[in-house]
């Protein structure tokens, strides 16, 4: 900065201090100018907030937005065109949920009504995610970019002009305050510069504030884009709802398939246990070989194990007294008697004794006395 420029800056700073600290009165601006200046300030703050909030509406996750901005910057530095860039689209929540539903729907298989419905809902959500990508593109082109251009050009230019008006007003007021040390020619030159700057700023603010048609067009484009997105989403969801209702009707009309477990009996020397086979089609388990009981065994296993009172051990039990019966979880115990509310008497193979009632699940209860 030259010496003359430094002097001007010093003079302006001196005038500011005089006005703020000593109450010196500066040149008054007309009310129309002040009113337009306030409206421009409101418009400036409005544009800044609208750009931020609209971006939040379209892309709510700031961390992902920051990552995408970095990827776009790196791609531009590498000289890649937009068509060569990959992974720069915002991941829509609907698309993420749709991918998950489709994956598990395919795993459940087409024979499952629920699996087919999951796949259908996933495809619909993916379509909504693509519609939201189109909404992002449309809003950016028709609303965000025009507002960003307005903010970066006209508003920025007016702010610069207003700053120049303030600077030249301070210079004029300083020279006027030192009228005895400043020539009339310099004072008139300073006044002319101030008036020229004021008229340029006033004209720019007037044109900006009177340009409501363009602002309304931009706002209408935003509403149209949102309306198209919601109409498209409504159409997709209505088709999906009809498809789900059809699936629900078909599933409700299907005959109920009941689960019929097959039981097989394996007889050993010391115990008689039952094993459940989940197959509902196999019939080989119905053929059970009969093995005669050992001589002297007090308990025999009949052809049908549930013909006599019995229970299944839920937990293992180790006897602490001679009259108690050891058992392991899953053992089938033949019930002989109920001693009291807490104890049963039963037999397991060649052994018999007492065991806790809360350790077993009664399959066939004892006959009522």
- Return all residues near 236 (Cβ < 8 A) that are at least 6 apart: 124, 127, 128, 131
Rounded to an integer, what distance in angstroms lies between the CA atom of residue 171 and that of residue 14? 10
Whether residue 153 is found in the same domain as residue 86: yes
Whether residue 119 is found in the same domain as residue 177: yes
Whether residue 235 is found in the same domain as residue 339: no
Q: Is 156 helix (H, G, I), strand (E, B) or coil?
A: helix
pLDDT tens-digit series, residues 159-188? 999 999 988 888 887 777 776 677 788 888
pLDDT tens-digit series, residues 25-43? 767 888 999 999 999 999 9
3-state SS track over 203-262: HHHHHHHCCHHHHHHHHHHHHHHHHHHHHHHHHHHHHHHHHHHHHHHHHHHCCCCCCCCE
Over residues 332-352, the mean pLDDT reads 91
- 88: pLDDT confidence band, cut at 50, 70 and 90? low
- pTM attached to this predicted model: 0.62
Over residues 114-118, the mean pLDDT reads 91
Q: Does residue 282 carry a pLDDT above 80?
A: no
CATH number at residue 245: 1.20.1270.60
Q: Does residue 257 lie in a domain region?
A: no
Q: How far are the Cα atoms of 41, 209, 301 from residue 157, in angstroms, in the given order?
A: 13, 14, 101
Q: Does residue 11 lie in a domain region?
A: no
Whether residue 209 is found in the same domain as residue 337: no
User: pLDDT at position 263, please?
Assistant: 53
Could you give the angle at the alpha carbon of 40 between the alpha carbons of 38 and 45, nearest 5°? 95
pLDDT tens-digit series, residues 290-315? 434 444 434 444 434 557 899 999 99
Rounded to an integer, what distance in angstroms lies between the CA atom of residue 344 and that of residue 2? 110
Q: Does residue 8 lie in a domain region?
A: no
Q: Does residue 289 lie in a domain region?
A: no
Whether residue 188 is found in the same domain as residue 302: no
Tokens of 339: 């001693």
Number of domain units in the chain: 2
Whether residue 240 is found in the same domain as residue 350: no
Over residues 240-250, the mean pLDDT reads 90
Whether residue 298 is found in the same domain as residue 156: no
**201: closest CA among 156, 139, 239?**
156
Higher pLDDT, 175 or 220: 220
- 124: pLDDT confidence band, cut at 50, 70 and 90? very high
Q: Where are the beta strands (DSSP E) in the chain?
A: 262-267, 272-277, 310-313, 332-338, 343-348, 351-356, 360-364
Whether residue 238 is found in the same domain as residue 273: no
Rounded to an integer, what distance in angstroms lies between the CA atom of residue 159 and that of residue 154? 9
Over residues 101-129, the mean pLDDT reads 92
Instruction: Give yes or no for a contact between 111 and 89, defined as CB atoms under 8 angstroms apart.
Output: no
Q: Does residue 2 lie in a domain region?
A: no
Whether residue 172 is found in the same domain as residue 266: no
What is the DSSP code string of 62-96? Answer: HHHHHHHHHHHHHHHHHT--GGG--S-S---HHHH
Decide which of 252, 271, 306 is a domain's last residue: 252
DSSP assignment letter at 324 = B
Whether residue 46 is found in the same domain as residue 103: yes
pLDDT tens-digit series, residues 10-22? 666 766 667 666 6
Whether residue 235 is found in the same domain as residue 274: no
Domain membership of residue 356 as a residue range: 262-280+294-364
Whether residue 59 is found in the same domain as residue 190: yes
CATH number at residue 350: 2.30.30.40
Q: Does residue 7 lie in a domain region?
A: no
Rounded to an integer, what distance in angstroms lies between the CA atom of residue 30 and that of residue 26? 13
């Amino acid at each position: 900065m030259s010496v003359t420029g430094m002097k001007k800056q010093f003079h302006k700073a001196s005038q500011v201090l005089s006005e703020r600290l000593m109450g010196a009165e500066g040149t008054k601006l007309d009310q129309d100018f002040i009113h337009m200046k306030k409206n421009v300030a409101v418009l400036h703050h409005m544009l800044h907030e609208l750009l931020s909030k609209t971006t939040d509406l379209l892309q709510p996750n700031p961390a992902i937005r920051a990552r995408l901005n970095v990827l776009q910057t790196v791609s531009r530095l590498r000289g890649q065109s937009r068509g060569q860039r990959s992974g720069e689209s915002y991941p829509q929540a609907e698309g993420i949920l749709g991918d998950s539903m489709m994956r598990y729907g395919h795993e459940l298989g087409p024979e499952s009504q629920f699996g087919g419905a999951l796949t259908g809902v996933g495809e619909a959500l993916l379509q909504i995610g693509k519609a939201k990508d189109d909404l992002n593109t449309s809003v950016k082109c028709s609303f965000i970019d025009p507002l960003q251009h307005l903010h970066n050009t006209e508003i920025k230019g007016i702010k610069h002009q207003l700053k120049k008006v303030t600077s030249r007003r301070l210079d004029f007021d300083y020279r006027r305050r030192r009228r005895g040390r400043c020539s009339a020619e310099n004072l008139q030159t300073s006044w002319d510069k101030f008036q020229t700057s004021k008229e340029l700023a006033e004209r720019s603010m007037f044109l900006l504030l009177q340009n409501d048609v363009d602002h309304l067009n931009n706002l209408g484009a935003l509403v149209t884009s949102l309306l198209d997105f919601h109409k498209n989403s409504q159409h997709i969801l209505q088709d999906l709802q009809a498809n789900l209702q059809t699936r629900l009707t078909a599933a409700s009309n299907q005959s109920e398939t009941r689960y019929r477990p097959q039981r097989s009996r394996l007889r050993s020397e010391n115990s008689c246990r039952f094993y459940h086979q989940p197959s509902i089609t196999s019939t080989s388990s119905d053929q059970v070989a009969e093995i005669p009981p050992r001589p002297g065994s007090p308990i025999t296993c009949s052809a049908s194990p549930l013909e006599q009172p019995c229970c299944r051990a839920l937990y293992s039990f180790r006897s602490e007294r001679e009259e108690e019966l050891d058992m392991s979880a899953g053992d089938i115990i033949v019930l002989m008697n109920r001693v009291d509310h807490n104890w049963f008497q039963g037999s397991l193979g060649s052994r018999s004794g007492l065991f806790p009632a809360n350790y077993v699940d009664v399959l066939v209860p004892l006959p009522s006395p």
